[in-house]
Amino acid sequence: MANLEPAIPHMMSCGTFYLTTSTGYPYTYHKGVAYFHCPVMNPVVHHRCEAIGIIGNKNANHCCGFYSADTIIFYEDRNFQGRHHECMSDCADLHPYFNRCNSIRVESGCFMVYDRPHYLGHQYFLRRGEYSDNQRMIGINDCIRSCRMIPMEISDDCPNIQDRLRMSDINSCNVVDGHWLLYDQPNYRGKTYYLRPGEYRRYSDWGGASPRIGSLRRITDFN
């Protein structure tokens, strides 16, 4: 990985290293992947965020995950200048859209970016935030060739969807296992929608007037 000059590890456990770059930015190195935590976390700007949810998982203790159409923007020059390309899903080959990338803005969600096409080469994990200088902030050169959106998971009741997922609109979902209640306000308040196993292609399928969801919980007491 370009310009990653790790200092002495702060902690080492099960092959995980907590390091810093030569410019002082912390990152976690685990099983060959560098995970960067952006120091600049601006408020989320207003943008369309369609989401596809999967509630329940027979093999993961009834885990429920929401997969959002998150947004990452690649800029040719530093400080978000020059031509740019906006991506809201996986892209196996970014080369047709730009020849170089020197800054990145992740408006929502998390993404893995790669320096080779088809999700190969060095990989970098980016959270929501602004990376005004890729070389200085995350130690990657201007060659970014593919990216993959990282789904967000919820493994228990969620009293506040916005706080957990940085989004509040759920447009569709698939209930794989169990019975769930969705609420249009945080902390299990407001209008309630009952979801049993099945596929809901649009929010109107569960009786919602809008995609806004504030919280959700699993029904465990049927007495």
> What is this structure's pTM?
0.52
- Residue 153 has what pLDDT? 65
Architecture (CATH level 2) of domain 51-67+152-218:
Sandwich (2.60)
pLDDT tens-digit profile of 98-140? 999 999 999 877 889 999 999 999 889 898 889 999 999 988 8
- Residue 161 has what pLDDT? 85
Cβ contact 213:170 at 8 Å: yes
Render the chain in DSSP notation, one character per residue.
Answer: -TT----S-S-EETTEEEEE-TTS-EEEEETTEEEE--S--PPPPP----EEEEE--TTTTT-EEEEE--EEEEEEEGGGEEEEEEESS-BS--TTT-S---EEEEEESEEEEEEETTTEEEEEEE-SEEES-HHHHH---S---EEEEEPEEE-S-BS-HHHHHS--B--EEEE-SS-EEEEEETTTEEEEEEE-SEEESSGGGGT-SSSB--EEEE-----
List the chain domain ranges: 51-67+152-218
pLDDT tens-digit profile of 33-53? 555 544 443 333 333 333 334
pLDDT above 90: residue 56: no
Structure confidence at residue 60 as a pLDDT band (50, 70, 90): very low
- Residue 222 has what pLDDT? 66
Give mean pLDDT, residues 157-183. 81
**36 or 80, higher pLDDT:** 80
pLDDT above 90: residue 190: yes
